[in-house]
């Protein structure tokens, strides 16, 4: 529940006052969480953000049992989107003109398999967030179909979407606007549980804070008292609260300082492994998607122009638009390849 406004809370958040807290405070002393069906393949040392999950007692799965076991297995899609279109009316510029329509999605079809890390990449305005909103049943398509774990959710009324509301959680681009500045962090994290009518214990909040690398006392503070990276960690903890099976992340690191992007990406990646989540990850940056995802769909102007493994699409893009996207990834100029340190010093400054 929202906390009442207190004197210590400013009307609008100001600049962060605490440094980014990148790693977990203590090293692991107990084995990995036993409840996970298949053990992670990544060595613990390579997962600094979650490798200190102590044991089931404090893992993010511990005090809130999963409410839903997806039946989709192997190659059967967990999310299946077919021929999705979404038209939005453009605001009228004159009463004499007919209202124009924005075709945000123009026949999108894709499958996401259970346990997959699926990326969606494309430039601003190509329809990525629209597609995610429709998959999350926060918006309805104009035409087409969305099936999650065999259930057609396209036109399900809200009262029948409870399984989706608990098991599909979202993390958005800007944690400042997605976290209520009037709520303490512990209430923000507990909110999805409270909304679904579950008990939200202090222990549960503490284990979620721990899972995202924040200390227990972070729960007493307000969002403006954290850095951007820490706020995104809070958003991730909130998303994990109901033990979702599907995590949807819409540009989760685009608003962050470059220095903390990798930490938050690694955290998401580790948690997806650790909790056996299916991830749908949106970015306008193919190199970010490559870092996190197994497979990627490239979107352009409301359509998917190419789908493949991230390695394939990155190394040998087929669609002309994907080639342009890959070419736009900043790299050291080819001229510098093979240059010696001496070559990098401006000519006039060489000794």
Ligand X SMILES: Nc1ncnc2c1ncn2[C@@H]1O[C@H](COP(=O)(O)OP(=O)(O)OP(=O)(O)O)[C@@H](O)[C@H]1O
Q: Are 36 and 276 in contact (CB under 8 A)?
A: yes
- Kindly state whether residue 93 participates in binding ligand X, applying the rule CB under 6 A: no
Among 21, 33, 52, 129, interactor with Mg ion by CB under 5 A:
129
Shortest CB 251 distance to Mg ion, Å:
6
124 binds, among Mg ion, ligand X, none (CB under 5 to 8 A by kind): ligand X
Shortest CB 310 distance to ligand X, Å:
19
- What residues numbered 100-139 form the site for ligand X, per CB under 6 A? 102, 104, 122, 124-130
Taking the C-alpha atoms of residue 218 and residue 323, their distance in angstroms, rounded to an integer, is 44
Phi, psi of 262 (to 5 degrees): -60, -40
User: Which residue is it, tokens 């960690």?
Assistant: 233
Q: 118 - beta bridge partners?
A: 280, 295
List Cβ<8 Å contacts ≥24 apart for 321-328.
322/298, 325/121, 325/122, 325/123, 325/286, 325/298, 326/286
Taking the C-alpha atoms of residue 311 and residue 332, their distance in angstroms, rounded to an integer, is 20
Shortest CB 139 distance to ligand X, Å:
8
* Binding pattern for the stretch 265-284 against ligand X, x by CB under 6 A and - elsewhere: -------------------x
> Which residue number, 63 or 129, has a Cβ lying nearer to Mg ion?
129
How would you class 313 by CB atoms within 10 Å of its CB: exposed for 0-12, middle for 13-18, buried for 19 or more? buried
**Residues near ligand X (CB under 6 A), total:** 12
- What residues numbered 279-308 form the site for ligand X, per CB under 6 A? 284
* Binding pattern for the stretch 69-88 against ligand X, x by CB under 6 A and - elsewhere: -------------------x
Alpha helices in the chain (DSSP H): 128-135, 162-167, 175-178, 185-195, 202-211, 228-240, 258-275, 286-292, 310-315, 320-327
**Residues near Mg ion (CB under 5 A), total:** 1
Shortest CB 250 distance to Mg ion, Å:
6
130 binds, among ligand X, Mg ion, none (CB under 5 to 8 A by kind): ligand X
Taking the C-alpha atoms of residue 328 and residue 323, their distance in angstroms, rounded to an integer, is 9
> What residues make contact with ligand X under the rule CB under 6 A?
88, 102, 104, 122, 124-130, 284
> What residues make contact with Mg ion under the rule CB under 5 A?
129
């Amino acid at each position: 529940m929202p906390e009442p406004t207190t004197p210590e809370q400013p009307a609008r958040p100001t600049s962060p006052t605490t440094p980014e807290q990148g790693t977990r405070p203590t090293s692991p002393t107990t084995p990995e969480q036993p409840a996970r069906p298949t053990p992670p393949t990544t060595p613990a040392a390579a997962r600094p953000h979650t490798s200190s999950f102590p044991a089931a007692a404090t893992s993010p799965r511990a005090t809130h049992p999963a409410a839903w076991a997806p039946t989709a297995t192997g190659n059967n899609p967990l999310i299946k989107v077919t021929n999705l279109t979404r038209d939005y009316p453009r605001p009228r510029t004159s009463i004499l003109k007919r209202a124009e329509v924005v075709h945000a999605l123009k026949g999108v079809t894709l499958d996401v398999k259970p346990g997959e890390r699926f990326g969606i990449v494309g430039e601003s305005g190509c329809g990525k967030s629209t597609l995610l909103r429709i998959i999350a049943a926060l918006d309805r398509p104009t035409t087409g179909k969305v099936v999650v774990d065999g259930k057609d959710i396209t036109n399900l009324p809200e009262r029948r979407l409870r399984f989706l509301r608990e098991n599909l959680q979202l993390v958005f681009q800007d944690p400042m606007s997605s976290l209520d500045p009037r709520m303490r962090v512990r209430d923000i994290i507990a909110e999805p549980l409270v909304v679904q009518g579950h008990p939200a214990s202090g222990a549960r909040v503490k284990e979620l804070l721990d899972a995202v690398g924040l200390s227990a006392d972070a729960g007493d503070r307000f969002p403006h008292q954290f850095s951007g990276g820490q706020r995104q960690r809070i958003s991730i903890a909130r998303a994990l609260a109901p033990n979702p099976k599907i995590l949807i992340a819409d540009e989760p690191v685009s608003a962050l300082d470059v220095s903390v992007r990798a930490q938050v990406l690694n955290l998401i990646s580790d948690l997806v492994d650790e909790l056996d989540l299916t991830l749908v990850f949106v970015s306008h940056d193919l190199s970010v998607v490559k870092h996190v995802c197994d497979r990627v769909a490239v979107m352009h102007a409301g359509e998917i122009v190419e789908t493949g493994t991230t390695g394939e699409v990155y190394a040998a893009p087929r669609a002309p638009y994907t080639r342009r996207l890959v070419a736009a990834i900043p790299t050291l100029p080819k001229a510098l390849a093979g240059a010696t340190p001496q070559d990098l010093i401006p000519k006039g400054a060489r000794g």
